[in-house]
Homo-oligomer: A and B are copies of this chain.
């Protein structure tokens, strides 16, 4: 996490920065179905930041580590021109490792939680979207304090056959692409099925473009054999999950529905053309 690239200090408290720096790394462990055990922290510090700042950053980081059951076992501090937090998290996979290359034709594609909130929150922080009150707090909070889906990842790793999984850091469309590329398959995604939060709907509307393109949600995207209902799988994983499509033969993702057969869908959001371009560009 690099100041000016991934965050600005005026966006958040040092504690939040510490916690987020670790959470985005814990998310990678979650996406593999692992149990985090230890982390190593490298700080590049720039002039102008004092001891109090780093005490708070570290406190937020340690609190997040403790909640995840991981120890901060070491690290390094160096000088730099940008504040940079680099973390390596170690974890163990006890029941099997979720991979990106194991999606199979016929699998159902799911995502945990809701998607697009962090992208909307980032745009609020950047002044590109305007929101206030609870809507702003929720969306900005989803960007600043993501939750690594560790428990859901562990539960996924108990399923057989092992699901393919990835965490949503770059954005749903791009991260799905990583799974498809590694697995040598395609996917059909129903944009209407993308789970959007009430806050997202209030600010952005029903258009899932931002949810498909925006990153930083740190939800899990996974591909499982279709033997669960959404409700049953949500209960099993301890987090709401939604089925957004399926794995098919091919090499990339396409959006299902064309706006003619699904008029309701078309009227529901304005970004269909943009989505189609996204789909065709892939």
Contact = CB atoms under 8 A, between A and B. Distances in A.
Interface stretch (A80-88, A97-105, A125-133, A198-206): A80-88
Oligomeric state, in copies: 2
A44 B84 contact: yes
Interface stretch (A2-10, A179-187, A252-260, A268-276): A2-10
Contacts of A137: none
B86 A2 contact: no
Interface string A1-31: 0101110000000000000000000000000
Contacts of A86: 42, 86
A226 to B, nearest CB: 31
B40 A80 contact: no
A90 interface: yes
A81 B78 contact: no
Contacts of A282: none
Interface of A: 2, 4-6, 40, 42, 44, 78-82, 84, 86, 88, 90
17 contacts: A2-B79, A2-B80, A5-B78, A5-B79, A5-B80, A6-B78, A40-B88, A42-B86, A42-B88, A44-B84, A80-B82, A80-B84, A81-B82, A82-B82, A84-B84, A86-B86, A88-B88
